[in-house]
């Protein structure tokens, strides 16, 4: 490892995935630390990375990678087979400036923190933008370099708000049709 920046365990807990931002790869290890294989290399094509940072597994065993300096999110099977990607550099909803933290909720929606836009963008399972929340600031619901994100089993959303020196917690409210 040269510059590990993100870590995720496979859903069954047998493999450890580590993003190495400087080497532009995802290294996969056994639980005991034995190197198994790598995913990706440096580049712009599907399955290639430019400074991959955070990782997340969803309930369908899909691996999400914040491909930070390619301004996109890439999605793979647990075995490293490329599935799809979404996002691009830009300042419109659905685009990224510095994607970082990534997580999914119980509905399969994808949450991405953007350190430059100071917000969180929410996408559906196919990578289509649903909404964004947050802006630069120090008040509740505002961010200053948001980084990591975690969503628990009750859909509480925890966001590491780096320069505000705090963790903000939000609750996703899921309405069930009667």
* Token pair in block for residue 14: 């047998």
Mean pLDDT of 42-47: 98
Closest CA to 107 of 159, 176, 168, 9: 176
Shared domain for 112 and 172, answered yes or no, is yes
Cβ atoms of 138 and 146 within 8 Å: the answer is no
Query: In terms of domains, do 127 and 64 share one?
Result: no
Confidence band of 178 (pLDDT split at 50, 70, 90) = low
In the predicted structure, residue 176 carries a pLDDT above the cut 80: no
CA distance linking residue 67 with residue 49, whole number of Å: 6
Same domain, 178 and 107: yes
The reply to whether 76 and 115 lie within a common domain is no
Supply the CATH number for residue 136's domain: 2.40.10.500
- Residue 142 token pair: 């505002």
- In this structure, the answer to whether residues 163 and 119 fall within a common structural domain is yes
Determine the pLDDT at residue 173: 80
Of the chain, the percentage scoring pLDDT greater than 90 comes to: 94
Please report, for residues 86, 131, 170, 176, the alpha-carbon distance to residue 45 in angstroms, rounded to integers and kept in the order given: 12, 27, 35, 40
Of 86, 112, 134, the domain-final residue: 86
Nearest C-alpha neighbor of 22 from the set 35, 37, 41: 41
| Count of C-beta atoms within a 10 Å radius of residue 63 | 25
Same domain, 150 and 171: yes
Whether 169 has a pLDDT exceeding 90, the answer reads yes
Please indicate, yes or no, whether residues 108 and 161 belong to a single structural domain of this protein: yes
DSSP-derived secondary structure for 74-95: EEEETTS-EEEEE--BSSSTT-
Q: How many domains does the chain have?
A: 2
pLDDT at 177 over 80: no
93 inside domain: no
Average pLDDT, the chain: 95
Specify if 92 maps to a domain.
no
Domain enclosing residue 130, as ranges = 98-178
In this structure, the answer to whether residues 7 and 79 fall within a common structural domain is yes
Classify residue 91: in a domain, yes or no.
no
Tell whether the model's pLDDT for residue 171 goes beyond 60: yes
pLDDT in tens, 48-89: 999 999 999 999 999 999 999 999 999 999 999 999 999 999
pLDDT digits (tens, 9 = 90+) for 131-163: 999 999 999 999 999 999 999 999 999 999 999
Is 108 among the domain residues?
yes
Q: Is residue 70 part of a domain?
A: yes
Instruction: Name the pLDDT band for 4 (thresholds 50, 70, 90).
Output: very high
Which residues are bridge partners to 22 per DSSP? none
* Domain assignment present for 61: yes
The count of residues in the chain is 178
Question: Tell me, what's the pLDDT at 155?
Answer: 94
Q: Is there a single domain that holds both residue 50 and residue 3? A: yes
């Amino acid at each position: 490892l040269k510059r590990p920046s993100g870590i995720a365990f496979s859903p069954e807990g047998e493999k450890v995935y580590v993003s190495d931002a400087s080497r532009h790869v995802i290294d996969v290890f056994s639980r005991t630390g034995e190197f198994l294989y790598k995913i990706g290399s440096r580049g712009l094509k599907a399955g290639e990375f430019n400074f991959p940072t955070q990782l997340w597994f969803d309930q369908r065993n899909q691996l999400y990678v914040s491909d930070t300096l390619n301004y996109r999110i890439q999605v793979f099977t647990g075995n490293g087979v490329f599935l799809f990607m979404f996002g691009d550099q830009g300042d419109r909803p659905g685009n990224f400036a510095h994607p970082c933290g990534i997580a999914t909720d119980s509905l399969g929606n994808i949450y991405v923190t953007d350190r430059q836009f100071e917000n969180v963008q929410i996408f559906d399972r196919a990578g289509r933008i649903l909404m964004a929340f947050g802006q630069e600031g120090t008040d509740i619901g505002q961010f200053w370099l948001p980084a990591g994100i975690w969503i628990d089993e009750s859909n509480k959303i925890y966001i590491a708000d780096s320069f505000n020196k705090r963790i903000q917690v939000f609750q996703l409210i899921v309405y069930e049709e009667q």
